């Protein structure tokens, strides 16, 4: 990348420092210095350890465990930067917290994704940069500009190097149909859809029907996130029982909650391609997982935002 114009700084919360460092390396600037102290009453003190007056500042923090800690840390950092007279502060949140709580589908519940958006703006964020929101409408929750990047083109570029002659893209559920269509279009492959049923808060959703031709095919399941893994592992068995030759998956957000990593090792899923929007603990890695870095995409978007050039052109 060409050297950045002056006034651009990138800081990191404690959720994913290696991604923040990679973004800085791509841009060609050092990671901003900040320190965190935790008091005996669990209150946090975050101090920005360098001058940010009149600077264009980006803070990288993703929504991984301990989730509430990381959210509060980000909010305090934004506030500290605002009070340190940063000219503009952008919260860079590769995996957005509470993105699945985006509607009031039961009585007396919070639309928590909207609450997160409000908290970011209240804490001093002037903009948000995020990736593959669970539903794109969440962008409408923000009173400040929110740019949404997607990991789909990078995943497709990676997959293009493989022999895909017998492959069919399979959407893990109908909600994923649009993104699956993007994979199918970019890779020039046929598409199939799984009709997945989830009952209430049951995290173990079950595939009910398949729409499309998968018999004898190498299925590439696509989904926005893998949380407990229930969706992908059940879909794998479902597809193999219906005659698929093999099943692999490409997923943007590797949430890998609960026992997902162990279940992956034991599952019949041949391979899982994910991105690094969340850190994956070493113990959860296995020969079945390949992690693709989205630091180049984030760095480019940060440069575009800083220079005032189009971010949407990055998708073309």
Instruction: List active site positions.
Output: 196
Nearer to ligand R5P (CB atom), residue 175 or residue 190: 175
Segment 226 to 255, residues that bind ligand R5P, using CB under 6 A: 226-231
Spell out a b/e string for 203-216, using b for 16 or more CB atoms within 10 Å of the CB, else e: eebbbeebeeebee
Count of C-beta atoms within a 10 Å radius of residue 247: 25
* Cβ neighbours of residue 262 closer than 8 Å, sequence gap 6 or more: none
> Which has the closest alpha carbon to 220: 135, 153, 280, 156?
156
Nearest residue (CB) to ligand R5P, 13 versus 230 = 230
CA distance 109 to 126: 28
Q: Is 102 one of the binding residues for ligand R5P (CB under 6 A)? A: no
- Contacting range for ligand R5P; rule: CB under 6 A; set: 59-67, 225-233, 268-276, 296-304: 225-233
Long-range contacts of 145-150 (CB under 8 A, 24+ apart): 146/117, 147/301, 147/305, 147/311, 149/294, 149/297, 149/298, 149/301, 149/311, 149/314, 149/315, 150/179, 150/182, 150/252, 150/315
Question: Per-residue contact track with ligand R5P, 263 to 292, x per CB under 6 A?
Answer: ------------------------------
d(CA 264, CA 269): 7
- List, in sequence order, every residue forming a beta bridge with 219; answer none if it has no partner: 168, 247
Instruction: Determine, following the binding rule CB under 6 A, whether residue 203 of this chain makes contact with ligand R5P.
Output: yes
Q: Does the protein bind ligand R5P through residue 113 (CB under 6 A)?
A: no
- Binding-site member from 223, 248, 254, 276 for ligand R5P (CB under 6 A): 223
Q: Mark residues 115-144: x for contact with ligand R5P by CB under 6 A, - for none.
A: ------------------------------
Q: Closest CB to ligand R5P among 56 and 224?
A: 224
Q: Please identify which residue in 167, 225, 275, 277 interacts with ligand R5P, judged by CB under 6 A.
A: 225
Stretch near ligand R5P under the rule CB under 6 A, chosen from 148-156, 173-181, 242-250, 285-293: 173-181
Cβ-in-10-Å burial (0-12, 13-18, 19+) of 167 comes to buried
The least distance separating ligand R5P from the CB of residue 311, rounded to whole angstroms, comes to 24
175 binds ligand R5P (CB under 6 A): yes
Interatomic CA distance for residues 8 and 249, integer angstroms: 37
Residue 20 CA to residue 10 CA, distance in Å, equals 8
The answer to whether the beta carbons of residues 206 and 195 sit under 8 Å apart is no
Q: Which of 172, 252, 261, 278 binds ligand R5P (CB under 6 A)?
A: 172
Shortest Cβ distance from residue 218 to ligand R5P (Å)?
A: 21
Q: Which of 176, 250, 272, 294 binds ligand R5P (CB under 6 A)?
A: 176
Q: Where does this chain bind ligand R5P (CB under 6 A)?
A: 172-173, 175-176, 203, 205, 223-231
């Amino acid at each position: 990348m060409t050297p950045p114009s002056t006034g651009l700084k990138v800081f990191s919360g404690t959720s994913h420092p290696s991604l923040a460092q990679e973004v800085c390396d791509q841009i060609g600037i050092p990671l901003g210095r900040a320190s965190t102290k935790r008091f005996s009453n669990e209150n946090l003190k975050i101090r920005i350890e360098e001058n940010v007056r009149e600077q264009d500042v980006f803070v990288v923090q993703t929504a991984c465990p301990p989730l509430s800690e990381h959210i509060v840390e980000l909010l305090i950092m934004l506030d500290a930067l605002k009070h340190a007279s940063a000219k503009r502060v952008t919260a860079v949140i590769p995996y957005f917290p509470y993105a699945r709580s985006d509607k009031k589908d039961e009585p007396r519940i919070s639309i928590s994704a909207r609450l997160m958006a409000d908290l970011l703006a209240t804490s001093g964020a002037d903009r948000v940069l995020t990736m593959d929101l669970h539903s794109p409408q969440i962008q409408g929750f923000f009173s400040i500009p929110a740019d949404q990047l997607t990991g789909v083109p990078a995943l497709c570029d990676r997959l293009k190097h493989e022999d895909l002659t017998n492959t069919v893209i399979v959407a893990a559920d109908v909600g994923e149909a649009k993104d699956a269509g993007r994979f199918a279009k970019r890779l020039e492959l046929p598409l199939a859809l799984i009709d997945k049923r989830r009952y209430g808060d049951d995290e173990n959703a079950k595939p009910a029907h398949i729409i499309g031709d998968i018999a004898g095919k190498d299925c590439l399941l696509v989904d926005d996130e893998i949380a407990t893994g229930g969706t992908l592992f059940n879909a794998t068995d479902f597809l193999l029982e219906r005659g698929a030759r093999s099943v692999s998956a490409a997923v943007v957000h590797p949430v890998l909650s609960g026992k997902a990593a162990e279940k992956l090792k034991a599952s019949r899923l041949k391979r899982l391609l994910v991105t690094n929007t969340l850190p994956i603990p070493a113990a959860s890695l296995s020969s079945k997982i390949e992690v693709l870095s989205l630091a180049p995409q984030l760095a480019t978007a940060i440069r575009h935002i800083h220079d005032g050039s189009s971010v949407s052109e990055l998708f073309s």
